[in-house]
Amino acid sequence: MYSLRPAKQTDISDILTLACEQGSCHASLPKTDEAIRSVIQTSEDAFRNPSDQPSLTGNYFWVLSKESAIVGTIAIEAFTGQKEPFYSYRRETLINASYRLKVKQSIPVLYQSHELAGYSQLHSITLHPKHRTSSTIALLIQGVILYISEHPENFSSKLLIEFPGFKDERGESPLWNDLGLHFFQMSLKQACYHASVEDKALIAQLMPNHPLYENLLSSTSQSTLGEPQQDLDDYYQSFIREGFRPSNHIDIFDGGPCLTCQSSNSWSQQENARTRLDVLPVLSHETIVMNVNKEQPIVVLVGVEQRDNAIATLNLSPSSWIRWVPINTEEGY
């Protein structure tokens, strides 16, 4: 049975193994003991924070486990851009025209932007390959959105997920090779590490802050801007089913898509219900159930046949309150 819960300091070794051996969807997943310890401490503080005193810098770090083994992670940054700027490129179209020459051109342009500051960002998403299914991906996404539904005062009304961008046959980013490499003089992996672990100010220090004309990039870059890394389509489609949509912003390093969603329009926000455990209806297919304990929430994936055993892990009395939502997968809704 799969369950999603806040990370603890005793999870450090397992998280580090998962991060180093399996990689992640996002460079923001910490990959050292010290970094993981710091992230978990910040997360524990966020979960303990009273609801009437929301933290603008809260970062809620979760782990997905199966029979005590940690097989995945996900985190929620309560509000982007509070501790340091949140950079992206905004894509717009510039119209150039000469009526005398009878020439009119529509030129796509990239503008450095901070406009995605203030969103609640889902990040640090990873799953062990053996446990990467539509159900476990849905559990990660829908589980944290259930928590946001229960505690909306701690989060933005706008949600964000940044995807890694398209990679060529050598596993390299065309946009990085066309642009960032010339200013950073290092690999994309190194630049992502420095930006996520050390200081995002280096983006402002090194990346050009003038508008960039897309037609000056290579044809590969132009045709793949805003496309996600090819092996992440299952994650991408899960966010689309949840209600996220591509924005006119892309990742400033590799051109990956930035998907956004009004929290109130997300599938799990609209379809979830808050009820007492003893009146939870009979389930027709897999369901996601969360206790409503702010400091120690547990989210479980409940199968139709394992309903009682799964719910028992929440360790709740029949009169306790829960929040639940049907799982949203291709096989389901």
pLDDT in tens, 22-46: 644 445 677 788 889 999 999 999 9
Residue 66 to residue 6: CA distance in whole angstroms: 14
Domain membership of residue 144 (yes or no) is no
Residue 175 to residue 158: CA distance in whole angstroms: 27
Structural domain count of the chain: 1
Amino acid letter, residue 46: A
Domain membership of residue 323 (yes or no) is no
Domain membership of residue 245 (yes or no) is yes
Q: What is the dihedral of CA 27, 239, 231, 78, to 10 degrees?
A: 0
Average confidence (pLDDT) over 314-324: 89
Domain membership of residue 253 (yes or no) is yes
* Residue 68 CB partners (closer than 8 Å, separation 6+): none
Average confidence (pLDDT) over 282-297: 87
Domain assignment of residue 177, given as a range:
83-116+164-271
pTM here is: 0.92
Domain membership of residue 226 (yes or no) is yes
Query: Got the DSSP string for 70-97?
Result: EEEEEEEESSTTSSS---EEEEEEEEEE
Contacts 24+ apart (CB under 8 A), 106-110: 107/213, 107/214, 107/215, 108/213, 108/214, 108/215, 109/211, 109/212, 109/213, 109/214, 110/211, 110/212, 110/213, 110/214, 110/250
Q: What is the pLDDT of residue 25?
A: 46
- 159 touches 261 (CB < 8 A): yes
- pLDDT tens string 203-230: 777 888 899 999 999 999 999 999 999 9
Domain membership of residue 249 (yes or no) is yes
Domain membership of residue 309 (yes or no) is no
Domain membership of residue 31 (yes or no) is no
Nearest to 250 by CA among 120, 118, 119, 162: 162
Indicate the burial class of 147 (C-beta count within 10 angstroms; 0-12, 13-18, 19 or more): buried
